[in-house]
Structure 1
Amino acid sequence: MTVPPRDPGEILRALRSRVAALEAHRPAPDAESVLAFGVPGLDRALGGGLALGALHEIVPAAPRDLGAAAATVLALAVHALGRVHRFARREVLWIQPELAGREAGRLYGPGVAALGLSPARLIELRLASERDGAFAMEEALQCRALAVVVGEFSDDRVLDLVALRRLSLAAGAGGGLGLLLRHRAAALASPAATRLAIAAAPGLPDGLGGLGQPAILLSVLRNRRGPTGRWLLVWDHHEHVFREPALREAPVPLPVAEAPVDRPHSPDDAAARTRRDRRRAG
């Protein structure tokens, strides 16, 4: 007796139904297994937050955003120290090879403190080569005395799939938060749990007449636990939390076009150029 072939559409619907049933019964993440941002939409996309015991890549959306990306990494470290109970007495290790330091500069103590991280809880490790940095990060990720391990790299050649896999396994063994700050986004796939791109956004008014509260545009480019997306976030350095600004106070998070170099970019400039051309013509 032959069994008639099933309709492919029917098979697909059955699979979707089974996946939906499994998702509905998936247990809520343990508060000690993830670092929640405190932004509902972002946390849902990440399966509750950034997974602890995992490696996460942070990249600048554009070269000019490297400072914002580094500040976000520091803010995440501060957030982790205050929100994860077992991290309460642990330190943050920042690994920076010589080349990365020459390209982007070193950590600035007063700036680190302004973001909310006490210099007493920050260990900065400077190494001669990127390969040494990758080795040090792998070893540090396995150390349970550290809450957050940051590795800053400017040379992608040492971060091949084998090296990234080793870092991911080390993060799983140590149980801390592994943050890989890359100076530029890599085109290749990665075993990291997430890849987040950071762009600087206009600061929100703080009522004090200054630069305002620091804001970023965070894009989830890769996510092993859910969908991708984009969120505008503000870092509150007093409460050490991220928050999503209200619509009425949020600036439009769009890049401002650079002034053209080969033509005037305003009516006044156009008129001035016309007058100059007429004078030159006699």
Structure 2
Amino acid sequence: MGPVASQPILAHLREKIAEIDPHLKPALPEENRELRLLDPVDAVLGGGLACGALHELAPGKPGHLAATSGFAMAAAARAGGEVLWIATDFAMSEGGGPYGPGLDLFGLPLSRLLMLRVPRPADVLLAMEDALRCRALGCVIAELTGEGTEADLTATRRLSLAARDGVSDRVSGLGLLIRHRATAEPSAAATRWEIATAPSLPDRLGGLVGGLGRTRFDLSLRKNRRGPSGRWIIEWNHHERAFQSAVPVGVAAPAFDRPHRAAIARAG
């Protein structure tokens, strides 16, 4: 078998090894440092969620912080390696901390998670910057309460550079900044997401808890340095430890990405 023909097989074997033990995650190819989510989403992202970069997450609706944290956990689990979660004491008291059994359903066992509580929002950013440069961590998640004004353009640029410096041949260097409230302020993050829960179909086979269906996310990509924005309804398959499409048809894009009505009328 020639070297070209064997590449897909080798890639498949690497993924299977990572599923068995995320600590044995293989080296990241230089030409493909993206974290794959789901094909339609990856296509807009230029191959997947960029590693060695900062990404911002926020609730798409009031009270949907848990969905935002859940998406972050799923992404972190797929990144492999150790995960550091940074939050202030106030953030932990307001939104709560990660729940062990829930983490396991997202493929992130407690043995891979490190928690760091700090007194001030400014300390969150300082700790995140240092942690992103640490090549022993696969992903760094940080929470900012309120509008998170401390994470301005200058601060997010520093975090982005730190994430880039933290990439090695074994870790993803993924930085996920969770804002408790969405913002339109300038940011150096590679992407900005608003995430909400979406109704799931009941599981007639019993499901995880009393017939509840799979976790669904309403994803809105508000900023994308590699291309357009978009919106998708996806769900998490707890058995496959992977995202999958939740609806057979596309979801309406955000209003600011739709063609102008007058232009459509002129086009006939």
TM-score, normalising length: structure 2: 0.75
Find the aligned partners of 1:63 and 1:183 in 2 and give their Cα distance.
9
- Say if 1:198 and 1:218, in contact at 8 Å, map to a contact too: yes
Partners of 2:82 and 2:71 in 1: how far apart? Answer: 17
Q: Which residue of 1 aligns with 2:225?
A: 224
| Secondary structure at 1:203 match in 2 | coil
SS of corresponding position for 2:64: helix
Determine the C-alpha separation between the residues in 2 that align with 1:181 and 1:73. Answer: 8
Shift of 1:224: 0.1
Q: Does the CA contact (< 8 Å) of 1:100 and 1:154 recur in 2?
A: yes
**In 2, are the aligned partners of 1:204 and 1:215 still within 8 Å (CA)?**
no
Separation in structure 2 between the aligned mates of residue 103 and residue 117 of structure 1, nearest angstrom? 23
Partner of 1:161: 153
Q: Matches of residues 67-106 of structure 1 in structure 2 within 5 Å?
A: 67-81=66-80, 90-106=81-97
Shift of 1:131: 0.9
Q: Which residue of 1 aligns with 2:240?
A: 239
Alpha-carbon separation, structure 2, partners of 1:80 and 1:245: 22
The answer as to 2:194 corresponding to 1:193 is no
Report the count of equivalent residues. Answer: 214
The aligned runs of 1:1-282 (5 Å cut-off) are 32-37=32-37, 39-81=38-80, 90-155=81-146, 156-175=148-167, 176-209=173-206, 210-247=211-248
* Alpha-carbon distance in 2 for matches of 1:187, 1:166: 19
Q: Distance in 2 between matches of 1:245 and 1:63?
A: 22
Contact 2:236 2:244 in 1 (8 A): yes
CA distance in 2, matches of 1:205, 1:48: 32
Measured on the aligned residues, the alpha-carbon RMSD in Å equals: 2.0
In the alignment, is the contact (CA less than 8 A) between 1:95 and 1:127 conserved in 2?
yes
3-state SS, counterpart of residue 218 of structure 1: strand
Amino acid of the structure 1 residue aligned with 2:84: L
The alpha carbon displacement at 1:32 in A equals 4.2
Q: Is the 8 A contact 1:116 1:238 kept in 2?
A: no
Q: Helix, strand or coil for the counterpart of 1:45? A: helix
Q: Which has the larger radius of gyration?
A: 1
SS in 2 for 1:93: strand
Secondary structure, aligned partner of 1:185: coil
User: Which stretch of structure 1 is more off in the superposition, 106-115 or 95-104?
Assistant: 106-115
Per-residue deviation, 1:245: 2.6
Structure 2 gaps, min length 5? 1-28, 168-172, 253-268
Length-normalised TM-score, structure 1: 0.72
Question: 2: CA distance between counterparts of 1:216 and 1:45?
Answer: 17
Give the whole-Å Cα distance in 2 for the aligned partners of 1:32 and 1:148. 17
Contact in 1 for aligned 2:216/2:246 (Cα 8 Å): no
Deviation (angstroms), 1:206: 3.1
Counterpart-to-counterpart distance in 1, 2:222 and 2:162:
23
Give the counterpart letter for 2:156 in structure 1.
Answer: L
Deviations 1:42-72 (A, max 9, x none): 1110000010000000110012111111111
Q: Which runs of 5+ in 1 are unaligned?
A: 1-28, 82-89, 254-282
Shift of 1:246: 4.8
C-alpha displacement of 1:30:
5.7
- Deviations for 1:79-135, whole angstroms, at most 9, x for unmatched residues? 222xxxxxxxx2001001112112211222222123221100000111111111110
